[in-house]
Amino acid sequence: MPSLKKHLEQQLQQRQQANLYRHRASHLEPQAVIRHIQGRSFISFCSNDYLGLANHPALVKTCQSGLEDYGLGAGAAHLLHGHSQAHEQLETALADFTGRERALLFSTGYMANLGIISALLDRQDAVILDKLDHASLIDGAILSRAQIYRYPHGNLEILERQLKTAAERSRFCLLVTDGVFSMDGTLAPLPEMVALAAKYQAWLMVDDAHGFGVLGDSGGGCLEHFALDTEQVPILMATLGKAAGVFGAFVAGSEVLIESLIQSARSYIYTTALPPALALATRQSLQLIQDETWRRQHLQQHIQHFRAGAKKLGLPLVDSLTPIQPVILGSSEQALAASKLLYEAGLLISAIRPPTVPKNSARLRITFSASHEAQQIDYLLSQLARL
């Protein structure tokens, strides 16, 4: 039997040979459109800071004030006296923002999805997922031990067949989907999914990590975009580290849903609460999302600007109206080479490769922020044209 070290070395070599090896790059500055690495300036098109709030002065000031009031760590899990008034006020604000009875904070979106699905289902039940759903949704389904069905991306015909089968064979059925698919930027067909869920008496859960704060007139996300209510989508999850610019995640729904998760969601119960200062900053972020509507307007202008220019260049774009604008190249080798050339031109754009995306669909994942400027997008287009 090979040693652990030898086994891991072989795995890493295989990843390198398949152009699937990943690298981290560290920086010494706040999140911004312009980044500085080893003495060079770069324009970043790889951030999820869609509204440009991650370094907003009001959020920084609120967080600093919160540190003075609460200190740094929460000190304990929510159920072991780590739950502060700052957490309580944020949950109330999130419930109001989403138009739901209650909301519950989680430390990360990954933990939220693990906790929600595994708390609601067991071996008697079924969970149905889109094949492009986020890894955390898939892992939550596995952890629940429910029967798992996965349908080809956006294929409503196969989804309906799976719902029919699940309704006949299982106690309960949970239909789970990304609101905005994180690697494609496309929207789930939520109105059609709502109708199918109602037809087969399935519960519907939407992970709106990339729609929250971005879509809808007030930033309410995919549900506001499609005008869907809490009866149609009883379980809403979203993250707070993307458009909101802070950290953490939440689930919003009925009083009984939230109280049940407090009692049963292991990834909520058995972890330390978020730092209270971050909860205070997030409340400030929610207010900015609602008040500074120009941020979403600027963001949409940038997206349309880019798509119009990309169309003239004949770039292979996905039909996305969100800040996520992938350019699909095919092989991992091509995606890495393109990312490297863009880096040399002063652009930070990540190469996304399997298993994050399906085989032969490696891509450049270009993301936009309200903080970008038109000339920066023009420069991006000029460098893409060179490729």
Nearest to 233 by CA among 201, 204, 192, 196: 204
**Res. 136 pLDDT band, cuts 50 70 90:** very high
- Domains of the chain by range and CATH? 29-51+293-386 (3.90.1150.10), 57-291 (3.40.640.10)
Q: Residues with Cβ < 8 Å from 3, sequence gap 6 or more? A: none
Q: Strand pairing of 347-348 and 324-330?
A: unpaired
242 catalytic residue (yes or no): yes
From the candidates 210, 225, 298, 372, which is the catalytic residue? 210
Q: Which amino acid is present at 372?
A: H
109 is in an annotated binding site: yes
For the stretch 290-301, pLDDT in tens is 999 999 999 999
CB 81 within 8 A of CB 69: no
28 pLDDT higher than 80: no
C-alpha distances out from residue 68 to 65, 318, 338, Å: 5, 46, 46
22 is in an annotated binding site: yes
pLDDT attached to residue 19: 87
Q: Residues with Cβ < 8 Å from 361, sequence gap 6 or more? A: 328, 330, 354
Q: What is the mean pLDDT of residues 248-257?
A: 98
CB 251 within 8 A of CB 118: no
Q: Distance between CA 8 and CA 313 in Å, rounded?
A: 43
379 is in an annotated binding site: no
22 pLDDT higher than 90: no
261 pLDDT higher than 80: yes
From the candidates 78, 87, 242, 372, which is the catalytic residue? 242
Nearest to 327 by CA among 380, 363, 303, 352: 363
Nearest to 105 by CA among 280, 243, 229, 288: 280
148 pLDDT higher than 90: yes
210 is in an annotated binding site: yes
Does the N-terminal peptide bond of residue 355 adopt cis geometry, omega within 30 degrees of 0?
A: yes
35 is in an annotated binding site: no
Q: Strand pairing of 102-106 and 249-253?
A: antiparallel
340 catalytic residue (yes or no): no
271 is in an annotated binding site: no
- With vertex at residue 239, the alpha carbon angle to CA 24 and CA 212, rounded to the nearest 5 degrees, is 120
319: Cα within 13 Å, side-chain hemisphere = 2
Q: Phi and psi (nearest 5°) for 330?
A: 115, -85
Helix (H, G, I), strand (E, B) or coil at 116: helix
CB atoms within 10 A of CB 17: 9
- Cα dihedral sign, 100-103-109-112: negative
The share of the chain scoring above pLDDT 90, in percent, equals 89
Nearest to 104 by CA among 299, 263, 226: 263
Q: Distance between CA 324 and CA 178 in Å, rounded?
A: 14
CB 32 within 8 A of CB 223: no
Q: What is the mean pLDDT of residues 93-120?
A: 98
H helices within 200-331, ranges in order?
A: 222-225, 255-264, 266-269, 276-291, 294-313
26 pLDDT higher than 80: no
**Res. 167 pLDDT band, cuts 50 70 90:** very high
What predicted TM-score, i.e. pTM, was given to this entire model? 0.94
- Cα dihedral sign, 368-372-373-379: negative
- Cα dihedral sign, 268-274-278-279: positive
134 is in an annotated binding site: yes
From the candidates 118, 144, 170, 182, which is the catalytic residue? 182
367 pLDDT higher than 90: yes
1 pLDDT higher than 80: no
CB atoms within 10 A of CB 272: 14
110 is in an annotated binding site: yes
Q: Which helix (H) or strand (E) holds 270?
A: none
Q: Which tokens go with 245?
A: 């610019």
